[in-house]
Amino acid sequence: DAGVIQSPRHEVTEMGQEVTLRCKPISGHNSLFWYRQTMMRGLELLIYFNNNVPIDDSGMPEDRFSAKMPNASFSTLKIQPSEPRDSAVYFCASSLAQEGTQYFGPGTRLLVL
């Protein structure tokens, strides 16, 4: 298996623009997680899905952030409109079960100017 795939790997955009991050989990995994990592706040869980259903979105910063998982092999995290404080590395991870080992993607490094 190729592991968790994320795209794009790097994104530079201007404040106010819409940003869409994409994730393909490992085939057969039932849980998918979106994290954000910054020097100041460390690794934060934004939202996670079980069997394509959002379970906990309490970590989503505000209404500008939204996430979808239309099927078992694809998820998106959207920021609209983006702000400079959204600059961070965004990781997607998947696991067989929400309490089990998580497999992380390489991350998307987002810079909002």
Partner 1 sequence: SQQGEEDPQALSIQEGENATMNCSYKTSINNLQWYRQNSGRGLVHLILIRSNEREKHSGRLRVTLDTSKKSSSLLITASRAADTASYFCATFSGGYNKLIFGAGTRLAVHP
Return the SS3 of 89: strand
Amino acid occupying residue 102: Q
Report whether 4 contacts 107 (CB < 8 A).
Answer: no
Interaction site with partner 1 (CB under 8 A) = 4, 33, 42-43, 45, 48, 55-56, 91, 93, 98-107
Quick one: 35 or 65, whose CB is closer to partner 1? 35
The minimum distance between CB 105 and partner 1, in angstroms, equals: 6
The 3 state secondary structure assigned to 15-70 is CCCCEEEEEECCCCCCEEEEEEEECCCEEEEEEEEECCEEEECCCCCCCCEEEEEE
Compute the distance between CA of residue 95 and CA of residue 86 in angstroms, rounded to an integer.
26
